Amino acid sequence: MKKTLFAAGCAVAFVAAFAAVAEAEAKFGFIDMQRALNEVEEGKKAKAKLKKDFDEKQSILDGKQDELKKLKDDLDKQQLVINDTAKRERMGELQQKFMELQQLYGKLQKELSEKEMGLTKEIFDKMEAIIAEIAQKESLTMIFEKNESRILYAPSSMDFTNDLIRKYNAKFTAGSATSDSGKKDKKK
């Protein structure tokens, strides 16, 4: 019985000591990926490109919507003077145009969403390598995503978002593209 208690006591002490050592060695950080995406130069360009596409698609939708509104207004004005058959035909045409508008809206929304996902995935993929570099340089055990991890409080010293933005811009902006081509020339 004493041996069992002694063994259990040793195990508890060992676990407590190990936990204390592990806790002392663990170092954490966080990054606000959404802010980083919005602030890196490539992210700003992607956002501008998406905004331009959105505006073009919105213009198309607005034109179709105006056309539909004009058809409805014409039908409302002529409702008392046209016969029931013509009224039904016009109502059918109006309903068909409305369904086409809804389908177009869904299609354009899907296209924008897919384009946004593609552009952001490309940037996030590039960020992963830089995050790994930051973690190694700072001897971090883990880096959390600020918004996904629901971090309610952390000291600003644990925030590596600015480092990520700075390093990303240095590595992937037009200015560094020329230095990258210089590196390629040296390798040849």
DSSP H stretches of helix in the chain: 2-25, 33-39, 41-78, 84-137, 161-172, 174-187
For 159, which DSSP code? B
What pLDDT is stored for residue 70 in this prediction?
93
What pLDDT is stored for residue 107 in this prediction?
95
What pLDDT is stored for residue 186 in this prediction?
38
Per-residue pLDDT of the chain (188 residues), as tens digits, is 554 444 444 444 444 444 444 555 899 999 999 999 999 999 999 999 999 999 999 999 999 999 999 988 988 888 888 888 988 898 999 999 999 999 999 999 999 999 999 999 999 999 999 999 999 999 999 999 998 888 888 899 999 999 999 999 999 985 544 444 444 443 33
What does the alpha-carbon distance between residue 176 and residue 188 come to, in Å, rounded to a whole number?
A: 19
Q: Does domain 2-187 have CATH number 3.30.910.20?
A: yes
**Structure tokens that stand for 12 in this block:** 């508890």
What pLDDT is stored for residue 49 in this prediction?
94
What does the alpha-carbon distance between residue 138 and residue 140 come to, in Å, rounded to a whole number?
A: 5
Secondary structure of residue 26 in the 3-state scheme: coil
Secondary structure of residue 142 in the 3-state scheme: strand
**The overall pTM is greater than 0.85:** no
What pLDDT is stored for residue 150 in this prediction?
85
Label residue 87 exposed, middle or buried (CB < 10 Å: 0-12, 13-18, 19+): middle
